[in-house]
Structures are given as C-alpha cells and as structure tokens.
Amino acid sequence: MKLLLMLSLLLVAVPQNLQKDNALSFDKPKQQQSIPNPYVVSYPKDVVVERLAGYFKDSQMQLDTTFTRKEEGFLVTKPFVFVKGTLTRSQLDRFGSCPAAEKRNWTRARATFQITVEATAPDQSRITVSSKLEGLSQELTGSSWVSCKSNGQMELQILEQILESLK
C-alpha cells in the first residue's frame, strides 16, 4: 500500500518539475521581473518629483543637491554604502559583476541612484531608475573605488520602494 502511495505521489510531482529537455529540476523556479524599468504611473510629473524628494528626505539615501535638477525631473542620490565587511563580495556578486581579479579584497560596496521622471501625458509620468555600483578594493598600495556593472536587481528594488511610496 505504501509503495502504491509513493508511486502515485511521484507520478503527480515529477511532471511539474520536468524542464523542456525532460531533465528533473528541484530548484525554485526563477521569478520574472515583477515590474518594468521604466515604469509609467498615473501621476503628473511635478507630483511624482515632489513625492520622490520627500521619500529620499525621509530615507537613509540623501539627494545630491549638486546634480539633482528637480525642475527637469532628474534626481541623483549621494553615494550610499549598503554593505561593509565580509559580506561585501557576496553582495557585489548579487547585485552586479565586478572586474575579475583573484586577489581583490572588497571591504565596502556603494551605489548611486539616478531617477529620471518624464511626463508622457498631462496625468502620466515615466519613472526610470539606474545606478552606479562600486566596490572598495583594499590593496597594499591603498584603496580605490572600482566600478561594477549592475544586473538591475538593485534598481528594481528601489523602483518597487518608490512605487510603494507613491500609493
């Protein structure tokens, strides 16, 4: 009886885990991007820019007044250190890809975000989020910030937070 029950469970479970090439897969299915970047919202541009300015005023990420041009819909944050210490390498690998160097000792990671708000209609705006990802490489001769290529994960998280703050 137990054998029959196990076989029936196996027959039900296996077809769900078969991939296109009939290979069995036990890992979690990859999630699709939940929202597109850029994203269109049903708010006028000036309302979105003011709400974003308020959002960044209340968060740990501060707007860089040197580069931010609110009237043009261009907001830039100051570099934000989001990880320090032993987790730096894994976080840099999670959010992007850094230049390959076997001996690099990553000690910090930071990101600078650029948010562009464009009016697409009188009552609609398009929000685009991009970032500059950097890792601090500690060497014998000194330390330097090294630019890394973002994979879009961090921008997606910021865009989700922005959309949540607009509700």
pTM of structure: 0.72
From CA 164, how far away is CA 93, in angstroms rounded? 26
Is position 114 within any domain? yes
Q: What is the DSSP string of 34-67?
A: SS-SSEEESS-HHHHHHHHHHHHHHSSSPB-TTT
Residue at 99 is within a domain: yes
Secondary structure element (H or E) that encloses residue 34, with its range: none
Within-domain flag for 4: no
**CATH code (residue 76):** 3.30.530.50
Q: Is residue 159 part of a domain?
A: yes
> Does 87 reside within a domain?
yes
Per-residue tokens: 69 = 């041009």
Q: How many domains does the chain have?
A: 1
Per-residue confidence in pLDDT tens, the chain, 167 aa? 444 444 443 444 444 444 444 444 445 455 555 777 788 999 999 999 999 988 888 888 889 889 989 889 899 999 989 888 888 888 888 888 888 654 578 889 999 999 999 999 889 999 999 999 998 888 778 888 889 898 888 889 888 888 888 88
The answer to whether position 11 is within a domain reads: no
Residue 84 included in any domain: yes
Q: Which domain holds residue 95?
A: 34-166
Distance in Å from the first CA to the final CA of the chain? 55
17 found inside a domain: no
